[in-house]
Amino acid sequence: METRHKLHPIGLSPLTELQTLVEHRSVYTLNQCELNVFETHQQSKNVRLCFNDLVLTTMLRGKKVMHLFGSEHFDYLPGESVIVPEKEEMIIDFPDASQHNPTQCIALAVNGEVLKETIGLLNEKFPKAEDNDMWRIDMSAFHLQNTFEITNAVDRLVHVSRENIGAKEVLASFTLKELLIRLMQTQARHLILDNYKKYLNNHRFAYIAAYIRENLAENLNIDRLSDLACMSKPNFFRYFKREFGLTPIEFIIQERIKLAKKLLADPLVPITEVCFRSGFNNTNYFFKLFRKYEGTTPKAFRENTIHHLG
């Protein structure tokens, strides 16, 4: 069970104001981006949509089935985002949509110059740890589980876009640049940390991710990790946080929580044993962190998991 970070809901349009039951569109235009809110209130298939700029789409409610890049279709659900390049056609199905169960999705079209400027600034002023690695939007990771940081930035941008205040454009500009950075950090987590085996020989942080995963039950010493990365401790922390949007300590905790969730699926493993096998040396600390990251207790998580498996 993955934690899903969902956006704050946006009120649906009154039925009397709908211009269409399929992808009714509300538009909020800014200098550097355009926010589109789409609603669908009836089942539909093969709905086509295309933008002239790169688009970040994020689901708010309901379910879509997406067809992109000529690949197999996939379900698209709240708590997820999809990045679509400029002039790329989306083909969308709405298998469950109805007036009582509408779908709602935002599509944020980003001005190409802003994207180019943001990436250029990062590569010039805040280069990555590896000389051959550059900041970029990577379309091999176009379908993302929202992180807390992405959800927070999109929520704020949606709020600003729909406000009527004098500083609207300035606030939107800052928030948009933050969102782009958060997206690239999240993609880097997926590409380097989640798929580390592909990069063991050419990316030091992939090697660090492998070492951490293989030693979760041990005392993971940050001095040792920085030595393995061939970096000073301050630089190790700085570059890791810059590239992935979280510290090495936060990454270790997240990996230990993932392992704990796997162990909790086995009802024969005592929760105290789950705690220590996951690398936590204090049950109270384990319970506190588990609730913080999962929003529930280890016991409740186990019961819910076993119920769904049963």
pLDDT-derived band of residue 3, with 50, 70 and 90 as boundaries? low
Q: What are phi and psi of 162, to 5 degrees?
A: -95, 0
Quick: pLDDT tens for 137-147: 999 999 999 99
How many Å separate Cα 39 from the centre of its chain? 22
- Which of these ranges, 3-7, 15-19, 59-63, 193-197, has the smallest mean pLDDT? 3-7
Whether 86 shows a pLDDT value over 80: the answer reads yes
| Other Cβ atoms closer than 10 A to 242 | 17
**pLDDT tens-digit map of 238-249:** 999 999 999 999
- CA triple 12-17-19, angle to 5 deg: 100
The confidence score (pLDDT) of residue 308 equals: 76
Strands (E), 141-278: 143-145
33 pLDDT higher than 50? yes
Residues of the chain with CATH 1.10.10.60: 196-310
Largest Cα–Cα separation, the chain: 64
Q: What is the pLDDT of residues 35-76, one digit of tens each?
A: 999 999 999 999 999 999 999 999 999 999 999 998 789 999
CATH number of 196-310: 1.10.10.60
Residue range 15-193 in CATH 2.60.120.280: yes
Mean pLDDT to the nearest integer, 142-154? 95
pLDDT of the residue at 25: 97
pLDDT higher than threshold 50 for residue 1: no
- CATH 2.60.120.280 in the chain is located at 15-193
Q: What single letter denotes the amino acid at residue 5?
A: H
